[in-house]
Amino acid sequence: MDCKLNESISWVGHVDWTIRDFHGYNTSRGSTYNAYLIQDESPTLVDTVKAAFAPELIRKLSALGELSSIRYLVCNHAEPDHSGSLPRLVQACPHAEVVCNEKCRTALGLHYDTAHWKFRIVKDGETLRIGKRTLQFIDTPMVHWPESMFTYVPEDRLLFSMDAFGQHVASSFRFDDQNDLDMVLEEAKTYYANIVMLYAQPIRRTLERAASLPIDMVAPSHGVIWRTHFGKILAAYKDWVLGRSKPKVLIVYDTMWQSTERLAQTILEGAQESNVDARVLNARTSSLTEIATESLDAAVFAFGSPTLNQTLMPQMAAVLSYLKGLKPSGKSGFAFGSYGWAKGAATEIELSLKSMNFEMLRPALTCQFKPGPDTLEEAREAGRMMARKALSVATQ
Ligand code: FEO
């Protein structure tokens, strides 16, 4: 495995091949926690790994002969997937200072017993000379936590970008050009949709700041390092932060006795009469992770649920709750679903969509028990309308 970014900088992280649930995120391709050792006059470790993998990180640093000489432990982000090994590292590196901003010091103090840690607090834009190199620290609040920052090395034109541009991917290959690029970009999209979509505006400001930096390589804290195709992920981020949608229709439903499913399929058929990317997902057979990812670039939505106990079915409630937290913007849609002797589901869905500032395209499409021919024709027409809307949004 090639672990050298250049002659002086090594990847010393952990590849987590078997993780499939990252605080609820379905990590079907595993993950990595990237840490980087800069071997200069003042050896510096940039970020750590989850606590469970601290012994491996310490072994790697020992093999490079740097453990006792490490001078700085840079903490770009206090979330435990990156800071979890800091308590062990602070013990193992008696001469090291933890380099972070003030908010990060506070956050670390709430996670760990930091009473005896030596801190070097850095401000936004501050630099730290470590020998031939300079580290420049750039605050990136809410990318992904309030204390997050980037570390930039001008001499190497290298940006340690923390969660930004990351992907949950386990691989034996560290660099973008050694992996299947389509797979990496798909995982970067999944990461963006599920972790940072709600922080689009802070990310936009961060991208604007980072645009002035000469960059040859971007080393995030998860997944592959961008050394050849950074332009591709940067272009994708620019679309995502602007909330740009594709001519894409997404229908998400749950069903009890296949009536709402029949409506979903008929809406799909109506949308497919036009040249749009129309997709349908069952809320109980697709993960929240997948639904959020498909939502990122979809323009128009239909959410369907039968009425159960005068409200919507639980998994559809979970879908809407999850999406609401991710704050999708510029979307439109409507609710649909069957009911028996009492209504409720469609109204609940409409309330959720309105709370997410969706443009409501039409009143809820409902039927009692089974959809008859008139309702199915109404569903087909609703699908056609979704397609027209998706095409109009995508050309704006
Ligand atoms: Fe990968 Fe926000 O931590």
The pLDDT, as a whole number, for residue 395 is 65
**Which residue type occupies 43?**
P
Q: Indicate which residue's Cα is closest to atom 1 of ligand 1.
A: 163
Q: Which atom of ligand 1 is nearest to the CA of 162?
A: 1
Distance 221 CA to ligand 1 centre (A): 8
Instruction: Judge residue 132's burial from the number of C-beta atoms within 10 Å of its C-beta, 0-12 exposed, 13-18 middle, 19 or more buried.
Output: exposed
pLDDT of residue 58: 97
What distance in angstroms lies between residue 341's CA and the mean position of ligand 1's atoms? 47
Q: Which two tokens stand for residue 311?
A: 């409200």
Show the ligand 1 pocket: residues with CB < 6 angstroms: 77, 79, 81-82, 144-145, 163, 221-222
Q: Could you give the residue numbers annotated as active site?
A: 23, 77, 79, 81, 144, 163, 191, 222
Q: Where residue 293 falls among pLDDT bands split at 50, 70, 90?
A: very high
Task: Check pLDDT > 80 for residue 2.
Answer: no
Taking 90 as the threshold, does the pLDDT of residue 143 lie above it?
no
Determine which residue's CA is closest to atom 3 belonging to ligand 1: 79
Q: How far is the CA of 76 from the centre of ligand 1 (A)?
A: 10
Q: Token pair of 95, please?
A: 């001469």
Residue 318 CB contacts under 8 Å (≥ 6 apart), including other chains: 283, 288
Amino acid residing at 123? K
pLDDT digits (tens, 9 = 90+) for 200-225: 998 999 888 888 899 999 999 999 99
pLDDT in tens, 304-343: 999 999 999 999 999 999 999 999 999 999 999 999 999 9
Q: Quick: pLDDT tens for 81-112.
A: 999 999 999 999 999 999 999 999 999 999 99
Matching residue, tokens 């002659």: 7
Q: How far is the CA of 1 from the centre of ligand 1 (A)?
A: 24
Taking residues 121-132, what's their average pLDDT?
97
